Structure 1
Amino acid sequence: MKSGEEAEHFNVLNDLPNDSKFLQPYFAKLRQKAEKETLLRDHLDLSDVFLIRFLRARDFDVDLSLKLLINYHRWRKECPEISANLHSSTVLGLLQNNYHGVLRSRDASGSRVLIYRIGQWNPKDFTAYEVFRVSLITSELIVQETETQRNGLKAIFDLQGWCFTHALQINPYLAKKISAVLTDSFPLKVRGIHLLNEPILFHPVFAMIRPFLPDKIKQRVHMHGSSFTKSLCEHFPHTILPPEYGGTGESLEEVCQEWTRFIEQSEEYLHQLSTETAGETPSDP
């Protein structure tokens, strides 16, 4: 746990713009260390804009930021079935089925709020790897946002419709990969995970994932059950939540369709990420 002085120092750094002269020593130290790492030599993007994600995610601790940067590239390299093809076309059917969306407004702490509707995922049409690719695509898009780097994200998983065929898709290998992104392989802070309508069949799957999670993430998991309206509004302003979840914001359909359009509009950037994972030289944007 940070002392009050350390926390205040981080808050000052976190609030500075990317081009602040006070951040330059951190960029220089992280870049210098990264250039010495064999795994990172093929990844030439050590720009300030890229490195700031890892520094903010680890409270400007350069050594921890380097570890996160290494884990990020290792994870992408070791899990190509998820990360090698981030084109929107690979998951468009799932997105068009209103499976996933990102709320237009942030919560009171400035966190991005993501929604996943498991019942809209048909395991006969999409594997768990493709479903998880949706999360990776969204993460790669929102991590570009300075406010999200500073304030992290919270995710709402609506598990209504979860059944045995969903459970069969989650194996220990995938559970470990999912937990890695939540903990030490992606430069975003997970501020909360909220589960709605969780059925008995989901508990064994969560029990598979839980051991891989650090205590701080375990403490941020909230199970709301089927009577979630009151408890969910204790964590999120009702003005940003869809009416389906007790709020007065945009409907779930609007939220999902708007985010799907944004993903489609980001195809050029997603193509660049895909070619980088494949080891090619990305084209200029």
Structure 2
Amino acid sequence: MKDSCEKQLTEFREKLSTQNRTKNLNLDDKLLLRFLRSRDGDVSESMSTLLAYIDIIDKRSDLFSWSEDIKKVVNSGVYVQYPERTSDGCVVSLVTPSKWNPSDYSYSIYIKLVIFMIEMSLLDEEVQKNGFIVVIDMSGIRWTHIYHTGVSDAKLFSDLTERILPRKLVSLHFVNANKLQDAGLMLFRPFMTSSTKKIMHFHGKDYSTLHSFVSPNLLPESLGGSAKDYPTSMYNQLLEKHKEEVMQIWDQFRKIKN
């Protein structure tokens, strides 16, 4: 395994040296391994992801920066990443879109929070290796949520979370959907990768099927689980603790000339 990683790193560095945007970058092995792990060691895919990552940081620097309004998203409870991991070492993210009030913050601010949370989790090498499980509770979604998301932000979010950020998505689960919530999903579906569509699971209101993928101790009571209800202040403290470390990674890629 070690020899394989070294071979992949060597090949990755060789590819970096042939690109104008990356040949002068002094990226350490830890950061390169993050991209390799996210694409299961495929050097070409890792390179494509890295180049897309550089591009988006340049084009949307507003999303790759800290702002205090990120905490509004945390406080709303719309996006949670539990500290506990699955038996396979995966991070479990719970998304509850109905907790978003569009008059409190924009969907772009939500995207910023998701980026920060993912990047913060990826500081842990075990998370890089084992990946993320995402559970989306569709109950309570209204037309206002769909309207204030829009097609362009739906595409941006899908691109970021599936193609650009160096994370490994293990599985994606939808619960409590009805026809209106299905319309919300249709906003994103055209932009989803084929690999993401293969790992999507729909559970309706049958939480027992969800529990076959995610242990109930990692799910809230509303989904038949017994996960500890952590205060939002804990998540805000974690973000404050790691925000400089995350931004230092992004700063390496700013103002790279083509």
**Contact 1:162-1:202 within 8 A present in 2 as well:** yes
| C-alpha contact (below 8 Å) 1:119/1:161 kept by paired residues | yes
CA contact (8 A) 2:57 2:254 kept: no
Structure 1 equivalent of residue 147 of structure 2: 168
Alignment of 1:17-32 (within 5 A): 20=2, 23-32=5-14
Residue 73 of structure 1 is matched in structure 2 by: 54
Partner of 1:8: none
Deviates more, 1:26-35 or 1:50-59: 26-35
| Distance apart, 1:174 and its partner CA | 1.8
- What TM-score do you get using the length of structure 2 for normalisation? 0.88
Structure 2 counterpart SS, 1:38: coil
Q: How does 1:44-55 map to 2 (within 5 A)?
A: 44-55=25-36
The CA RMSD over aligned residues, in Å, is: 2.4
Give the Å deviation of 1:274: 5.6
**Structure 1: gaps (5+ residues):** 1-12, 14-19, 281-285
1:90 and 1:189 mapped to 2: Cα distance?
Answer: 27
SS in 2 for 1:70: helix
Who is 1:128 aligned against? 107
The letter for the 2-side match of 1:238 is P
Kindly report which structure 2 residues correspond to 1:1-285, keeping only aligned pairs within 5 A, or say none. 13=1, 20=2, 23-40=5-22, 44-83=25-64, 85=65, 87=66, 89-225=68-204, 227-251=205-229, 254=230, 256-273=232-249, 275-276=251-252, 278-279=254-255
Tell me the distance in 1 between the aligned counterparts of 2:243 and 2:36: 27
- The 1:205/1:38 distance shift into structure 2, 3 A limit, reads farther
Unaligned runs of 5+ in 2: none
Between 198-207 and 61-70, the greater mean CA deviation after superposition: 198-207
Contact 2:86/2:218 (CA < 8 Å) preserved in 1? yes
- Partner Cα distance (1:255, 1:35) in 2: 46
Q: Quick one: structure 1 residues 121 and 273, their matched pair in 2 at CA, closer, same or farther if it must change by over 3 Å?
A: farther
Q: How many percent identity over aligned positions?
A: 22
Aligned with 2:83: secondary structure?
A: coil
In 1, distance between residues paired with 2:170 and 2:58? 26
- In structure 1, distance between residues paired with 2:27 and 2:158: 26
Number of corresponding residues: 256
Determine if contact 1:102/1:113 at 8 Å carries over to the other structure: yes
CA distance in 1, matches of 2:32, 2:45: 12
Residue in structure 2 matched with residue 283 of structure 1 by the alignment: none
TM-score normalized with structure 1 length: 0.80
Q: CA deviation at 1:273?
A: 4.6
One-letter amino acid of the structure 2 residue matched with residue 230 of structure 1: S
CA gap of 1:27–1:255, structure 2 versus 1, over 3 A, is: farther
Give the conservation status (yes or no) of the 8 Å contact 2:98–2:145.
no
Q: Distance in 2 between matches of 1:185 and 1:271?
A: 16
